Amino acid sequence: MPQIKFLVLLVVGIAISFTALAASPLKIQSIKLIETQAGTKLEISTNKKPQYQLTANANSSQITLTFQQAFLIASLPVLSTRSLIDSIASTRGKSGEVNILLNLKAQTTYKTWLRKLGAHPTYRYTVMIKKIKPAKAPDIISKNYQANVSALNNVANKTISTAATTPTSPYLVVVIDPGHGGKDPGAIGARGYQEKNVVLAISKDLQADLVSLPGVKVYLTRDSDKFISLRGRLGIARKYKADIFIAMHADAYRNSDANGASVFALSERGATSESARWLAEKENQSEMLGGADLNDKDYLLKSVLIDMSQTATINASLELGNSILQQLREMTKLHSHKVGQAAFVVLKSPDISSILIENGFMSNPVEENKLITPSYQELLAERIKNGVVVYFKTHAAPTTIFMQQYK
Ligand SMILES: [Zn+2]
């Protein structure tokens, strides 16, 4: 027995030294700092695929990037006053690792990704840092979402006690609803990527983009991989008193050639086309997976009572959808050049402008590839944000912070 043990140790020992010999150290060739409208981007280029680790403190104000078996060849970038990075430093650890320490300015959030560059056998690790606006207690100033609210007042003021008729704040509230989640993966792409993860990533980018606007608060119905019923999502929008609600999805279709983005608002009499109806049924299916939500029963009754007032909301939703389509058109093919209308459950809030964006087709391998790429996700988010800005400029009350400050 002792001999066998010795043999095992010997083999392990050889394996370790062989690996140590075979692995040439990682070279950190450049560290670039790019200031963009969206935030500060730190790009770390390496000569091969890095073994790395990211640690952050509780409020994410300090990030440490550790690259195993590495040498820092590049010099650290000079920080501008605009940068969301307060300070940057590097240290070398005992076991040959390089630590890059970032101190971030207050109220920032970050996202990282690693990308293999096409032309060279090199990799780029990116840290994108964006600003978050702190959520403040709103003052009570009434805001006019006149079309919606007055229509509601006329038809349903007596029916709805609190919703939509309460005085609102000078803030504009956006609720982003990343579709699916948890046991409901949504569309599965040609390469196996899941819609629920793709739309969550785009939604987080969109949140970061929108909170950078003055007087705009942004909430996600889910910020992790969890299941929420469709009516639960409506409830979240209502809880936050959303001005607009954006459901984020990515399509799948029997025909893998189908491509392009599309935007939907609620239809008054169900789906307006075969394709829209098919989609509506598909998106509604997750409700069955989630089971009944009893708390929503009286809401359902209410929604029947105020159905008539929905016309104003649908018109506003169509305008919001159109603003976004105009923006998306500049970066991606559109599946349809008009805002579609379908009976999606999540769009049924009677007093919240609600749209559903199909960001592209997971079932199309080319689009799936784009949809999983962080830089493409950011581009989609930025375009959608631009569309929201156009909409707010024509619909938000003059008393809102946004209208007073947005230049
Ligand atoms: Zn979906």
Q: Is the pLDDT of residue 253 over 60?
A: yes
Same-domain pairing of 214 and 88: no
**Residue 149 confidence class, pLDDT cut points 50, 70, 90:** very low
Considering the domain boundaries, does residue 255 fall inside one?
yes
Last residue of a domain, which of 106, 131, 156?
A: 131
User: What CATH number has the domain bearing residue 68?
Assistant: 2.60.40.3500
* Pair (46, 193) in one structural domain: no
Identify the weakest region by mean pLDDT among 158-162, 186-190, 282-286, 346-350. 158-162
**Whether the model pTM is above 0.85:** no
Same domain? For 338 and 210 the reply is: yes
Banded pLDDT at 134 (limits 50, 70, 90) = low
Domain range spanning residue 91?
A: 25-131
Examine the fold and report which residue of 103, 131, 159 is the final residue of a domain before the chain moves on. 131
> Which parts of 267-400 are beta strand (E)?
340-342, 353-361
**Separation of CA 195 and ligand 1 centre (Å):** 7
CA of 298 to the centre of ligand 1 (A): 26
Query: Do residues 122 and 152 both lie within one domain?
Result: no
> What residues are paired with 374 via a beta bridge?
none
Query: Is residue 7 situated within a structural domain?
Result: no
If one counts the domains in the chain, the total is 2
For residue 139, tell me if it sits in a domain: no
Is 47 inside a domain boundary?
Answer: yes
**DSSP per-residue string spanning 268-289:** BTB-SSHHHHHHHHHHHHHHHH
> pLDDT: is 312 or 334 the higher one?
334
Q: How far is the CA of 252 from the centre of ligand 1 (A)?
A: 8
Same domain, 259 and 362: yes
Q: How confident is the model at residue 21 (pLDDT cuts 50, 70, 90)?
A: very low
| 288 pLDDT more than 60 | no
Q: Which of 129, 136, 106, 132 is nearest to 212 (CA)?
A: 132
CB 344 within 8 A of CB 283: yes
Residue 283 Cα, ligand 1 centroid: separation in angstroms? Answer: 5
Within-domain flag for 15: no
* Over residues 127-136, mean pLDDT: 70
For residue 393, name the pLDDT band (cuts at 50, 70, 90).
very high
| Statement to judge: residues 123 and 150 lie in one domain | no
- Claim to verify: residue 79 and residue 181 sit in the same structural domain: no
What is the CA(250)–ligand 1 centre distance, in A? Answer: 5
* Residue 153: φ, ψ to 5°: -55, -45
> What's residue 257's pLDDT?
84
Q: Pick the last residue of a domain from 69, 99, 131.
A: 131
Q: Using the mean position of ligand 1's atoms as its centre, give its distance from the Cα of residue 282 in Å.
A: 8
Residue from 57, 11, 48 nearest 28 by CA:
48
Across residues 31-57, what is the average pLDDT? 85
- Judged against a pLDDT cut of 60, whether residue 159 lies above it is answered with no
Q: What is the pLDDT of residues 361-386, one digit of tens each?
A: 999 999 999 999 999 999 999 999 99
Cα 50 to Cα 71: distance, rounded to the nearest angstrom: 11
Report CA(147)–ligand 1 centroid distance (Å). Answer: 29
* 186 Cα–ligand 1 center, Å: 5
User: Residue 184 forms beta bridges with which residues?
Assistant: 181
